Structure 1
Amino acid sequence: MQTAPLIYFSSRSENSHRFVQKLNLEATRISEDETLLATQPFVLLCPTYGGGGAKGAVPKAVIQFLNIPENRQLIRGVIASGNTNFGTAYGLAGDIIAQKCHIPFLYRFELLGTQEDVKRVKTGLSTFWSSLTDQCAMR
């Protein structure tokens, strides 16, 4: 399967899935049932789990996906959802992934995201990919 430049995980709540649908961008979903191999550079979007602690903040399916060296080599940025009730742990999965993979944490949004979040993420992704393309062209 050819992957899209946005790869995401969504739990049974489907919050992340609904957010990705609002973006109206080509996206590939990480499944808990099968292994996904990225085929091109991508930005990862994932929810934060765990209720506020670092342990368990990154969903297991995302950890398994990122444990594949080829997937880690192609990740270029991360977007995370979370719950502001978790205080400093809001969107913590994004902080953890950005640090471990040495990539930028591009955006965080709460639960389903607002229309403003959708607009900012769409615009931000377009700008992000354009800047990466420009950097590659300059080399």
Structure 2
Amino acid sequence: MATDAGSFVAASPPSPSSAPWTFAGFRLTTLLLVAIIFALACWNIWTTRELLALKHRRIVSVSLATLITDFVRNESHQSGDPQQMAAETRRYLVATQLALKSLAGDGTPVVASEAVLGNSVPDVTPQVKQAVARAMAADAANGGGGNGGH
């Protein structure tokens, strides 16, 4: 069994271009994996905090039918021309919309009572009625012509 003298090549040290890239003694792939794991851990902490905040959020309902029925009932006893009634209706709807926006301003989900099964969420219709009445009274005191910026 003869070996060829040319088949034995002396091992040469790896060239600098084929050596793995390192930083502070760590391979860059290792550093990249650590960075990805750290980012995922931060994202996990953030999502857990957000989900726990949602758990404490209060959902409320408002009976839109009751609000509109009460308004129509009150307006049916008023006398006035159609333009005045249309303006009053517009003022009422704007006041109602502003009251609902202020209620939902802190992130509280507001659902229509008509869409709620049972009494699973608190009904805040009386509070909305009071807010609308205050807004209508303030608008009437300011001349009654305001339309809430619409």
Q: Which has the higher helix share?
A: 2
Q: Which has the higher strand share?
A: 1
Question: Whose radius of gyration is greater, 1 or 2?
Answer: 2
Where relative contact order (Cα < 8 A, 6+ residues apart) is larger, the structure is 2
**Shared fold (TM-score greater than 0.5)?**
no
- TM-score, scaled relative to structure 2: 0.26
